[in-house]
A and B are shown apart, each in its own frame.
Chain A
Amino acid sequence: MSTTAVADHVEQLLAVIAAQATPDALHWLDEARLSLKSAEAIERLAVHSAVARRRMGTVRLQSADAIALGPGVPSLEIRGWEIGDAARVVLALELCLAQPENSVVIASGQFRVGDESERAALVGALSLFPEPRRLKPVALEAGRTNSLRLFSALALDNPYPCQFYEEHEFNQLVLKALFAGLGIERLVGLRERSNPELSRMCESYVRERLDADRSVPVDIWLALAPHCTAQGNALLLRYLGDGDPRHRYYAALAMAPRTEQYPEFGRALFDQAARETDERVRDTLNELVGRHACLVG
């Protein structure tokens, strides 16, 4: 990522912060940014980052456009970020711009000394840094956490994994998100990065949950369907008619792109739409059935 692009990201974040920050908070941020131009900037960054939430407040960014990351790459959604976290990211990015040869040291150092909320802010913003690919060790380490707060920052609404993870790394992230009960609809790039191995892992996990007489994650179908086996197809058809409307919803979403390859999916979606009792699921089914023309002959 060019320094111009990083500088643009900083400008965009600053504009969003300025729209919601108090005058005191803005003053603190300006002073903090200025202080990073002098000696011991990395140490100062650590202190500013630690106190940022207390200085900036905890209001969440509203009406903020997603940050574009380039052609063909999903954007980074920043709406919902805490303003203090946005400030942390601005400070870290600006220090990287000032010391481009040190950007990896700066980012990984910030991860090392940050508390959990600082780490989550950093991990959520990894795509914005110069040479983001070189920060993969930071992402992978964050992914090893059992804290849902940090793990969510990596796995949800974050275009970093789908851009830079190898297939097995991405698959493990999806599966861990399912294990943790996170909604994988918000796992960016899931469809684009789906693969046969991921489908196999999900089919195996569904069998494991059924054997243990435990609930199956209602949205696992999104990860299972794209490259599943015949057993996976059977599961999809079964859960399209499940008692839980959330299963029916996600099974339908997962099956719809596969109706050309499996006409029985189209028939099943059509039949379910006719008998569906849940309003949201019914509306979704009607839309999918209308969109995909492979209906019952």
Chain B
Amino acid sequence: MRYFDPHIHMMSRTTDDYENMAAAGVAAVVEPAFWQGQPRTQLGTFIDYFDALVGWERFRASQFGIRHFCTIGLNPKEANNVELAEGVMKLLPRYLQKDGVVGVGEIGFDDMSSAEERFFAEQLELAKTLELPALVHTPHRDKVRGTERTLALVKEVGIREELVVVDHLNEQTLPLVMDTGCWRGHSVYPFTKMSEERMVALLQQYGTERILVNSAADWGRSDPLKVPKTGQAMLAAGFSEEQIEQVLFLNPIEYYAQSGRISLDDVAPPAIDQTQLWEDNSVLRGQTPVVR
């Protein structure tokens, strides 16, 4: 069984996690740009972070046979330092051109301030102009109101709704998004957000169309194996393997393929092992092979 985790902050995870994810069948991930626990104060730290998302982290994942894609954006928790945020906005177009950058994100509301709204709207515009998916974080506090304001902003900006995934949904907010063309993201996360069992109940109630499931694993108490575990829960609840593969592997690929930067072929088992590439004269000796 192959899995795809479309929202996971691998930069905060260890290589043990990569090993366990690979063993559990996670073939690929999308890592959205986010904050790092406390707000950044310098433009340079954003540059270095974005560079690491398209550089070092992608390589680190490849060492475990996992394809790593990312989204780049200004997250809501760092949108309230307006001068810094304006500087970050100027960086985005350059990064959004890069291979493997499959969308704008993660953007949205946190405190629902006017500064957050400004930069949320600007980035939805950017996604609209560049025809890129937009990964939207709904707030954890006053979630229903935040989701309503999110959907209203999506309509106001006029971005094609299928390009937008509204994430961190629950029993109250999923029905709101079902009325739109937006994709529906759910984060299965211990103690907060969604659980596997509740996710299964939602799938039974609403079906699998345009549903995404992720672990949103980060530096908090979270579990990078929640996508495979949701698969197990779905199996136990009577879903077929085809349905599980649809939700937990094909759906995220279909969603992000709208970027033109990822396809099913890209997520096939690791393409080239360098020990074979060079005609039996292996590049590496005894260490981890470079796989692409």
Known contacts A54-B261, A149-B290, A115 near B98 by CB under 8 Å: yes
Q: Are A115 and B54 in contact (CB under 8 A)?
A: yes
Contact of B99 among A50, A146, A147, A219 (CB under 8 A): A50
CB distance from B120 to the nearest CB of A (A): 25
Collect the chain B residues with CB atoms within 8 Å of residue A246's CB: 285
Chain A CB within 8 A of B39 CB: no
A278 CB–B CB distance under 8 Å: no
Binary interface encoding of chain A residues 204-246 relative to chain B, with 1 for a CB under 8 A from any of its CBs, else 0: 0000000000010111000000000000000000000000001
Q: Which residues of B lie under 8 Å from residue A152 when comparing CB positions?
A: 283, 290
Partner of B55, one of A115, A182, A185, A219: A115
Contact A50 B290 (CB under 8 A): no
- Count contacts on A: residues with CB < 8 A to the other chain: 31
Q: Say whether B286 contacts A215, CB under 8 Å.
A: yes
Q: Which of B117-175 contact A (CB under 8 A)?
A: none
Does B87 make an interface contact (CB < 8 A)?
no
Q: How many residues of B contact A (CB 8 A)?
A: 25
Known: A115-B99, A148-B290. Is A186-B283 also a contact (CB below 8 A)? yes
A117 at the interface (CB under 8 A from B): yes
In the complex, are the beta carbons of B283 and A147 less than 8 A apart? no
**CB-based contact B97/A47 at 8 Å:** yes
Using CB atoms, name the residue of chain A closest to B59.
Answer: A147
Residues on the B chain within 8 Å of A50, using CB: 94, 97-99
CB distance A183 to B99 under 8 Å? Answer: no
Most buried by A among B58, B277, B283, B284: B283
Residues of B53-67 whose CB lies within 8 A of A = 54-56, 58-59, 62
Q: Is the CB of B97 within 8 A of A51?
A: yes
Residues of chain A from 68 to 87 with CB closer than 8 A to chain B in the complex: 80
The answer to whether the Cβ of A169 comes within 8 Å of any Cβ in the partner chain is no
Report the nearest A residue to B101, measured CB to CB.
A115
| A101–B261 alpha-carbon span in the complex (Å) | 36
**If the complex has contacts A50-B97, A51-B97, A115-B99, are A147 and B55 also in contact, measured as CB distance less than 8 A?**
yes
Contact between B286 and A116, CB atoms less than 8 A apart: no
User: Which residues of A are found within 8 Å of B51, using beta-carbon distances?
Assistant: 115
**Closest Cβ neighbor of A113 among chain B residues:** B94
B207 contacts partner chain A, Cβ-Cβ < 8 Å: no
Q: How near does chain A come to B46, taking the closest CB pair, in angstroms?
A: 14
Inter-subunit contact B99/A217 (CB<8 Å): no
Q: Give 26 A-B contacts (CB < 8 Å), ordered by A residue.
A: A46-B94, A53-B99, A54-B99, A54-B260, A54-B261, A115-B99, A115-B100, A116-B56, A116-B58, A116-B59, A119-B55, A147-B59, A148-B288, A149-B59, A149-B290, A149-B292, A152-B290, A181-B284, A182-B284, A182-B285, A183-B284, A215-B286, A217-B286, A218-B285, A218-B286, A246-B285
A interface residues (Cβ-Cβ under 8 A, vs B): 46-47, 50-51, 53-54, 80, 113, 115-117, 119, 145-150, 152, 156, 180-183, 185-186, 215, 217-219, 246
Q: What is B's interface to A at a CB cutoff of 8 Å?
A: 51, 54-56, 58-59, 62, 94, 97-100, 260-261, 277, 281-288, 290, 292
